[in-house]
Amino acid sequence: MNKMSTLVVVGSQWGDEGKGKITDLLSEEADIIVRYQGGCNAGHTVVKGDKQFIFHLIPSGILHKGVKCLIGNGVVIDPEALLQEIENLKKKNIEIDDNLFIDFKAHVVLPYHKTLDEIKEVKRGKDKIGTTKRGIGPAYVDKIARTGIRMIDLIDEKFLAKKLENNLNEKDTIFEKLYGLKIPNQEKKDILKKYREYGQLLKRYVTDVSLYLNKAINEDKKILFEGAQGTLLDVDHGTFPYVTSSNPIAGGACIGTGVGPTKIDKVMGITKAYTTRVGRGPFPTEMQGELEEYTRQKGGEFGATTGRPRRCGWFDAVLVKYAVRINGMDNMALTKVDVLSDFDKVKICISYKYNKEIIEEFPVNLEILQNCIPVYEEIEGWKGDISQITQYGDLPQQLKDYINRIEELVKTKVVIVSVGPKRSQTIIREKIFK
Ligand code: IMP
């Protein structure tokens, strides 16, 4: 059996596939969990015993003693949100000490990024993206524009003052010229004071994540790379412009942590048994009316970060097949299958119809995607409570048929089936770390 010690976990759809739960579960076997992109726009829900945890920046593995949690250079960090998250975990008796590390190259989200995110959304009017308003896009803009502030700047009091002053002046001009707003001088002083304090509070966690990880790889440690959001929200390969501003796909794991592609052993897609999306943009298999509301309520499909109701739809095999390709996915975890119990029939979209033509490959062209009509295959539904089943063989035959058909259509094996939010509600068909 080949050695397998580095695994990328990536969302196969538009995010909210249940990555938090699966990462938490796999953390039982891993030594290190590292987040590689996104920021506190993410919300990963994990249920431990009777407690529910929602993670925004800290990797879901933090609940496991002995597991090291790393935040890579590809993540944008809102220090206020991160400190709050650390505080909340401590209140729930989760130790945060020598188990959290933040890369010194990671960029920082500042208050003006959040203001810009909000203003830009309002200005977009009916074309708004539906962002989480956490300042993510504007923070990445500053990174690419090479003006952003990094963790290494944040913890250096002298350098921070100079850099932040330049940034505040630049943003002030933009606010004034474009939006008729002004950042009062007192507010500028307050931001500097606050962020200097944040830097000093976070200093102890800051390290060279790339170096840490590469040493760990040489020591054969088991490492899980945790993506936030999902493949279709990727800024390059997603449904642009209705995407986030980073690369959640598996390739992003290398860029966002400083680990070379030859060091990644496997990629696992976390795939929901149906489809959801938050925010705007095309969604071919979207359900309507009562059916959508029923699925939303049953699946608890409300944003973990913003509380927004998620749009719900049938499983889209065209889209997941695309995610398999873009990520080079080796296998999948199929989540929330219990939500589909009790439907008389369940539908799988097997292709799209566009202008009388059948399309089998996911069209990244937004115009085509918006006007595609899904072609469905119907499968017999399964009845009853499946949430306590622990053996694959004990699942209803109709559900096994559903899983088989998905595997066949997207040409990838389902190695984990999740039948409920708890760790114990998981069927493992194949050992993940070898
Ligand atoms: P942003 O990441 O806040 O800029 O938002 C861009 C798009 O990504 C919006 O459609 C958001 O709803 C979506 N998005 C961002 N983070 C998540 C997530 O964790 N789950 C699902 N959708 C997300």
Could you list the beta-strand ranges (E) of 107-221.
107-108, 206-207
| b/e map 161-199, b = 16+ CB within 10 Å | eebbeebbeebbeebeeeeeeebeeeebeebbeebbebb
DSSP 335-373: E-GGGGTT-SEEEEEEEEEETTEEE-SPP--HHHHHT-E
Question: Residue 2: its pLDDT value, please?
Answer: 59
Beta-carbon contacts of residue 320 (< 8 Å; ≥ 6 apart)? 12, 13, 269, 271, 406, 409, 410
Architecture of the 107-205 domain? Orthogonal Bundle (1.10)
Interatomic CA distance for residues 229 and 36, integer angstroms: 11
Interatomic CA distance for residues 60 and 307, integer angstroms: 19
Q: Which of 24, 31, 44, 265 is catalytic?
A: 44
Locate the ligand 1 atom nearest the alpha carbon of residue 16 and give its number: 20
State which amino acid sits at residue 425: Q
State which amino acid sits at residue 62: I
DSSP 20-37: HHHHHHHTTT-SEEEE-S
For residue 166, give the DSSP letter. Answer: H
Interatomic CA distance for residues 405 and 414, integer angstroms: 11
Q: Which two tokens stand for residue 299?
A: 């699946």
Q: Quick check: is 16 catalytic?
A: yes
Pairing of strands 345-354, 357-359: antiparallel
Helix H or strand E encompassing 76: strand 76-77
Interatomic CA distance for residues 65 and 88, integer angstroms: 17
Q: Quick check: is 44 catalytic?
A: yes
Residues of the chain above pLDDT 90, percent: 86
Q: Is 132 in the pocket of ligand 1 (CB under 6 A)?
A: yes
Choose the residue to mutate in 244, 280, 283, 308 for probing ligand 1, maximizing ligand atoms within 8 Å of C-beta. Answer: 244
Q: Is 61 in the pocket of ligand 1 (CB under 6 A)?
A: no
Question: Residue 1: its pLDDT value, please?
Answer: 45
| Domain 6-98+208-428 sits in CATH 3.40.630.40 | no
Domain layout of the chain by residue ranges: 6-98+208-428, 107-205
Q: Which two tokens stand for residue 216?
A: 């760990």
Question: Which residues of the chain are modeled with pLDDT < 50?
Answer: 1
Question: Residue 44: its pLDDT value, please?
Answer: 82
Q: Is 246 in the pocket of ligand 1 (CB under 6 A)?
A: no
Q: Which two tokens stand for residue 229?
A: 């959001």
Q: Is 37 in the pocket of ligand 1 (CB under 6 A)?
A: no
Residue with tokens 């580095």: 6
Is 417 within 8 Å of 355 (Cβ atoms)? no
Torsion of CA 271, 291, 361, 234, to 10 degrees: -50
Q: Is 229 in the pocket of ligand 1 (CB under 6 A)?
A: yes
